[in-house]
Amino acid sequence: QVQLVESGGGLVQPGGSLRLSCAASESIFRFKAMGWYRQAPGKERELVAGFTSGGSTNYADSVKGRFTISVDNAKTVSLRMNVLKPEDTAVYYCKGTWYSYEYWGQGTQVTVSS
């Protein structure tokens, strides 16, 4: 059973930074794709940033230039978030596509507020 565990969320002031981590039970390089999603109260879950095994990376327009997704090691993917805004407040989820299956982490809360 593939497991994904997020960490690093918290409360931060507008303009601040956070780094989220996603620890996988399997090597990141065996996933077809990995990504970070978020869901704010009353809104649908949306893709924030992701990459495929083919090497393509994409970001939501709302986070381009502020967020960076990266592979820290063979089992950890991180999301560096800079210049955070109140509208970035949401539960952030890590998702991995393993063959034809999709696996989600439990989510980590990010709150941007003064």
End-to-end CA distance of the chain: 40
Supply 87's token pair: 């509208």
Mean pLDDT, contiguous 10-residue spans, the chain (114 residues): 95 98 95 97 97 94 98 96 98 95 97 97
User: What integer pLDDT is reported at residue 73 of this predicted model?
Assistant: 94
Residue 44: the pLDDT is 97
Other C-beta atoms closer than 10 Å to the C-beta of 22 total 27
